[in-house]
Amino acid sequence: MNLSGKHVAMLVENNYQEMEVWYPIYRLREAGARVTTIGPAPGRYLSKLGYPVVADLDAAQAQGQAFDAVIVPGGYAPDLMRANAAMVAIVKTAVTSGRLVAAICHGSWMLVSADVIKGRRVTGSPHIKDDLRNAGCIYEDKEVVCDGNIVTSRKPDDLPAFCAAIVSSLAAQHIERAA
């Protein structure tokens, strides 16, 4: 599928899960999307295993930009991300404006902090299912759950289904706007 013209934000912070950042970045670039990495500040962030990613923008700079999608990876990075008001605001604004927000594993914590999952079908790491349920979502233990403009997955093994759902959702936006 051709995603040229689509602009996707990948949120990053220290202790991210390597595959949950890089697999979607490469998959979306392969489809023609532009991917911008966003952290609390521009600069280098290290994964759980020490693999670096460089944030292109800081979250405060990125707040005014209209991304077609926002992706929140897992690892323990989301626990750090949700302490940054600008990063949480990016997620909340994207969801409330109808843009695609995709979160995998512990990334669903950002949906809790953005207060956007009450009554929505969501999945995430089984380790945070109580947090998700307490935030009012309907937790489903599936490889990918799509509920409107929110796409969620549980773990790295779910990345093929997760990325397929993201690409499909973004491609559907192309079709809707062309019609």
106 is catalytic: yes
pLDDT tier at 176, thresholds 50, 70, 90: low
**Per residue in 111-156, pLDDT tens?**
999 999 999 999 999 999 999 999 999 999 999 999 999 999 999 9
Q: pLDDT at position 179, please?
A: 47
- pTM summary value: 0.95
Query: For the chain, how many structural domains are there in total?
Result: 1
Handedness of CA 135, 139, 145, 147 (dihedral sign): negative
Q: Is the pLDDT of residue 24 over 80?
A: yes
What value does the mean pLDDT of the chain take?
95
Of 7, 106, 127, 174, catalytic: 106
Round to whole Å and give the CA distance between 23 and 85: 26
* Inter-residue contact 108 to 124 (CB < 8 Å): yes
The range of the structural domain enclosing residue 148 comes to 7-174
Residue 11, both tokens:
């949120």
State the CATH number of the domain containing residue 26. 3.40.50.880
The SS3 call for residue 104 is strand
Domain contains 179: no
Q: What is the dihedral of CA 132, 136, 141, 147, to 10 degrees?
A: -110
